[in-house]
Structure 1
């Protein structure tokens, strides 16, 4: 008769070990998120809008309604994608979604002047594109990292900033040389050619956490969805996210027009616009570093409040290249931490047991604000010839809304 050996406890991994094991998930997430629904429409539609308006006689508000449609579809499809990732794994979800998303984006080249068909096309694109949002990709990142969770999330979502740096010039050059139809096709092929192979080879979700023990999804520590919905922190986050995302989400797809309205030349605008991506990526890295070391709600409040200064400057109507670049950088730096902070909040306050479902519901609040904002910005421009009124309103609602995060309290601790 043999004596059973005592259970051994595997020591927690260091941050260095976490990165050595989880770099593939981060790399795949960078490309998946950067070439997914979170980045491509937001950073590209401002470039397509003038050409669609010229071709079909549509107003800027009508064109930017596509962002509202994305939001409406995401209200339903976002939580469904998160729940599906919990059930069958995020890797399976994104491997199906990425090629469908890319192919759908290509079909925008078939736009023929019918707003109805344009909107229906966007609805179908958003339906599959919701599975390319951070809801799915950050599931694997959160499960692979603990000590370096904030930095890992920041790194994984630098893809949106990279698209802002390289995607905007790519689209601008493609439109100038080949026209808007070919540019839609070229843009749609990027996730198929780059993000899908990365997901196939690198996104390996093995349900192994940073403590070295394997868990089935239901066994991960944390709150159930019902428990989270009974927690005041969930509703506090939801209440803050709608106005914050409204204020931050509207200027991004309209940035070229905002800068032109301020008196900048097309050359100056194209020199400043790529700063959005660089600043967003910087915000993700710096923000992720800070989230790991400083109480996250305080970081979120300070960084998310600063763009109010940018909005008031944009609303002044008389821009200089240097000051405009600084204002764009400040706004985009804040955008770089918004996604990361929500993902970090969910992991720290609710745990990972139902991460996808909880994040999915909170993403609805983010999508609601960011989805309707570009349409309101566009319609304000159509009505007044500028964005001054809506920018001023955004500045006034941003700071008190971001301050709500300060009421979240201490992090929870979940026993493995």
Structure 2
């Protein structure tokens, strides 16, 4: 056990830099801060909330299109270069929002620019390097890094709210953009290096020399895309992200529709943050010690049951709270599972582009889920039918993963 976790003693720097980079990157910041900016933008420009949130489909579309490209670029030139450029570009894109004088077209264009310049801050780049450094406790390392999406997401929400009250929304965008520059960028520059980087300290090189190389082992992208396992994973993660992504933004509205007071609905929805943290860490630990598809099924069937509980007409606060906590466990584990299974089934040779395409599938589900659930509620006045669909999505997205079989072993020979 001690030797297994020894990987953290020489690779903690990678996890730290990745956690801060992911937490202050394109994955959590727009989702957690748009709601805070919505009030001031609506008050000054007369925009409806729907116009403010129209940035999210643009970000989703850009992530869907650009993720495979940034994955390919990461495979070609290395994650560190991509990350450094993306952190700077992401920060600049955020700060440029301060120049907007009320143009909705400019507002949407700037969010597209944020996505274009900042796509390298998505988990694609960071998880590649973590997978290379860690072998025995790969899942836990991924969980420790990805847990930052929830932790930093909560922090930036309060940070932006403070800035808006203190200096206005324009300077709040500037302050938000500065944050990655003064935190993520120094950590990346000094700590974030892949195992093949010539500037890796000598002591770490000696440790890595005794471990089987993972960097060039695995399938080519063309081989992975011909493998039925890849397409099975793609379909499963569309369904999984549809369920998770559709539920979380609609939780407050769902509980309001069930008769809860607004204050109780906010409390219930906020519980998701706690369980996301638990899900990331526990999921990472479990997939290190047990077969990942089996762990996935266990963790994904639980929120399917939660959907059933939420449909009940006599829903109590306690049952609702338990249901939200169980849903959050899945929301905390799905990206860990995806990164882990790509490494185990396809190897690291073309990890960037393979993970990038899978992330596009993930973005497709996560981006369409909130809109489809919202449309269902607007049409019927209830989320009950939508909850049935979500429950089916969790089951349909998890059970087929059991067909993946045992992990591939890339340590001795190349499999195709």
TM value normalised by structure 2 = 0.86
> How far is the alpha carbon of 1:319 from its aligned partner?
5.8
**Who is 1:398 aligned against?**
394
Distance in 1 between residues matched to 2:248 and 2:33, nearest whole Å: 10
> How far is the alpha carbon of 1:77 from its aligned partner?
1.6
Q: CA RMSD in A?
A: 3.0
Corresponding position: 1:25 with 2:14 = yes
CA contact (8 A) 1:175 1:182 kept: yes
**Who is 2:201 aligned against?**
none
**Who is 1:6 aligned against?**
none
28, 35, 46: which is aligned to 1:39?
28
86, 98, 105: which is aligned to 1:116?
105
CA contact (8 A) 1:146 1:210 kept: no
Distance in 2 between residues matched to 1:291 and 1:172, nearest whole Å: 37
**Who is 1:334 aligned against?**
330
Q: How does 1:319-330 map to 2 (within 5 A)?
A: 320-330=316-326
In structure 2, stretches of 5+ residues that fail to align are: 197-204
- Name the count of aligned residue pairs: 403
Distance in 2 between residues matched to 1:118 and 1:381, nearest whole Å: 28
**Who is 1:212 aligned against?**
209
* Aligned partner of residue 204 in structure 1, secondary structure: coil
Distance in 2 between residues matched to 1:177 and 1:322, nearest whole Å: 38
* Aligned partner of residue 335 in structure 2, secondary structure: helix
> How far is the alpha carbon of 1:320 from its aligned partner?
4.8
CA contact (8 A) 2:99 2:170 kept: yes
Distance in 2 between residues matched to 1:188 and 1:392, nearest whole Å: 40
Q: Deviations over 1:133-191 (max 9, x none)?
A: 11000111000010111111111111112124433444455556665545444333322
Distance in 2 between residues matched to 1:94 and 1:203, nearest whole Å: 9
CA contact (8 A) 1:109 1:185 kept: yes
Distance in 2 between residues matched to 1:60 and 1:284, nearest whole Å: 31
> Given the superposition, is the C-alpha separation of residues 240 and 255 from structure 1 closer, same or farther in structure 2, using an over 3 Å criterion?
same
Q: Deviations over 1:237-278 (max 9, x none)?
A: 011111211111123334444444444445445544443332
> How far is the alpha carbon of 1:380 from its aligned partner?
4.3
In structure 1, stretches of 5+ residues that fail to align are: 1-12
Corresponding position: 1:300 with 2:296 = yes
* Aligned partner of residue 252 in structure 1, secondary structure: helix
* Aligned partner of residue 38 in structure 1, secondary structure: coil
* Aligned partner of residue 250 in structure 1, secondary structure: helix
113, 135, 145: which is aligned to 2:134?
145
Corresponding position: 1:239 with 2:235 = yes
282, 287, 291: which is aligned to 1:291?
287
* Aligned partner of residue 253 in structure 1, secondary structure: helix
Q: How does 1:6-405 map to 2 (within 5 A)?
A: 14-49=3-38, 52=41, 58=47, 61-110=50-99, 114-174=103-163, 180-207=169-196, 212=209, 220-314=216-310, 320-380=316-376, 383=379, 387-405=383-401
Distance in 1 between residues matched to 2:402 and 2:49, nearest whole Å: 37
> Given the superposition, is the C-alpha separation of residues 183 and 293 from structure 1 closer, same or farther in structure 2, using an over 3 Å criterion?
same
**Who is 1:4 aligned against?**
none
TM value normalised by structure 1 = 0.86
> How far is the alpha carbon of 1:281 from its aligned partner?
1.6
